[in-house]
Amino acid sequence: MDNNTLLSVNNLCKTYTAAENRISALKDITFDLNRGELLVVMGTSGSGKSTLLQIIGALDSPDQGKISLNGVLQDKMFMEPYATQYRSENIGFIFQSFHLMKDLSVEENIALPLILKGASGSEVKGKVNEMLDLVGLTSWRKQRPMQLSGGQQQRVAIGRSLIMRPPIILADEPTGNLDFNTSREILNVLIEMKEQLNQSIILVTHDANVAAYGDRILFFHDGEIVDTYVKNTEEADMDCIMDKLRSIMERAS
Ligand SMILES: Nc1ncnc2c1ncn2[C@@H]1O[C@H](COP(=O)(O)OP(=O)(O)O)[C@@H](O)[C@H]1O
Ligand SMILES: [Mg+2]
């Protein structure tokens, strides 16, 4: 492991048994996440993307495999109470549906993780102000989620996921409910977090236009990493991404 590696995922396997069928959702998945990297996991529906994020986020456990963080093997991360501790110290989640508390204001939603942790009033105020500024919602702070657009609601969710400054953000189809322009706006917020906070992010998507924002793309198919794309200039090479995608789709049919 080199010093730039934040997370190491080694030989993850996960099989679900449903109505006598065994589904191999993850088959021997190995990769690293670097510090300050936006890593995209791209694949068609059912390729194992959400399963992977749930395991990295200790919301589910693998049948086999190991995860290390900063070079330290997280051998208890799938057992309570360590799972909860691992999640609260290391992971921020962003989902397709924003999972906001509808009776709380924007600032209260963002503050929630801090309040649950028992932070002081002044700490909450300072950090929430800073986060509202980062996600561009200062003038919306008193509004309820219902009064906001989808893109604004997702920005609240991003603020809430980042308020504890977790080393890793896990984003599962974060633009899945948003139109093209709003998706771009949200992806730019994530890019800003990466650039301003050196935030490490794993983003799952089935959409090549979203994947193109990644520093690196892992192409998933049937629970396996079947191809990788590494961006080496500012602009992603869309032709190359589409070629890789097409070849995976051909393999599938
Ligand atoms: N809780 C579960 N029980 C049984 N099968 C599951 C469960 N969750 C996911 N699967 C199956 O595992 C495979 C991978 O699912 P998932 O990780 O959700 O894929 P993706 O997020 O890429 O669409 C799919 O075949 C799916 O039907
Ligand atoms: Mg999914």
Determine which residue's CA is closest to atom 2 belonging to ligand 1: 16
The answer to whether the CB of 163 falls within 8 A of the CB of 128 is yes
What is the rounded CA–CA span in Å between residue 178 and residue 74?
Answer: 35
Q: Tokens at residue 16, please?
A: 């679900």
Residue 83 forms part of a structural domain: yes
What is the rounded CA–CA span in Å between residue 229 and residue 240?
Answer: 8
pLDDT of residue 249: 85
Going from the C-alpha of 176 to that of each of 55, 135, 209, the distances in angstroms are 21, 19, 12
pLDDT of residue 32: 98
**What CATH number has the domain bearing residue 20?**
3.40.50.300
Q: Which domain holds residue 184?
A: 5-95+168-252
CA of 55 to the centre of ligand 2 (A): 13
What is the rounded CA–CA span in Å between residue 50 and residue 95?
Answer: 10
The predicted-structure confidence for 167-218, as pLDDT tens digits, reads as follows 999 999 999 999 999 999 999 999 999 999 999 999 999 999 999 999 999 9
Residue 177 forms part of a structural domain: yes
What is the rounded CA–CA span in Å between residue 39 and residue 32?
Answer: 9
The predicted-structure confidence for 7-34, as pLDDT tens digits, reads as follows 999 999 999 998 888 999 999 999 999 9
Gap between the terminal Cα atoms of the chain: 37
The predicted-structure confidence for 34-55, as pLDDT tens digits, reads as follows 999 999 999 999 999 999 999 9
pLDDT of residue 1: 61
The predicted-structure confidence for 212-253, as pLDDT tens digits, reads as follows 999 999 999 999 999 999 999 888 999 999 999 999 888 777
3-state SS of 163-202 is: CCCCCEEEEECCCCCCCHHHHHHHHHHHHHHHHHHCCEEE
Determine which residue's CA is closest to atom 3 belonging to ligand 1: 16
Residue 201: other Cβ atoms inside 10 A: 24
Residue 36 forms part of a structural domain: yes
Residue 110 forms part of a structural domain: no
Residue 202 forms part of a structural domain: yes
Q: DSSP characters for 53-120?
A: HHHHTTSS--SEEEEEETTEE-TTTTSTTHHHHHHHHHEEEE-SS----TTS-HHHHHHHHHHHTT--
pLDDT of residue 228: 97
Determine which residue's CA is closest to atom 24 belonging to ligand 1: 46
What mean pLDDT is reported for the chain?
Answer: 94
Residue 43 forms part of a structural domain: yes
**156 or 116, higher pLDDT:** 156
Q: Residue 82: is its pLDDT beyond 80? A: yes
pLDDT of residue 18: 84
What is the rounded CA–CA span in Å between residue 134 and residue 244?
Answer: 35
* Burial profile 156-179: b = 16 or more Cβ within 10 angstroms, e = fewer: bbbbbbbbbebbbbbbbbbbbbbe
Measuring from each residue's beta carbon to the nearest atom of ligand 1, which residues come in under 6 Å?
16, 18, 23, 25, 43, 45-51
Residue 46 CB contacts under 8 Å (≥ 6 apart), including other chains: none
Residue 104 forms part of a structural domain: no
The count of structural domains within the chain is 1
Determine which residue's CA is closest to atom 7 belonging to ligand 1: 16
Q: 32: buried, middle or exposed (CB in 10 Å: 19+, 13-18, 0-12)?
A: middle
Going from the C-alpha of 198 to that of each of 10, 112, 158, 169, the distances in angstroms are 24, 23, 15, 11
Q: Which of 16, 21, 219 to mutate to test the pocket of ligand 1 (most atoms within 8 A of CB)?
A: 16
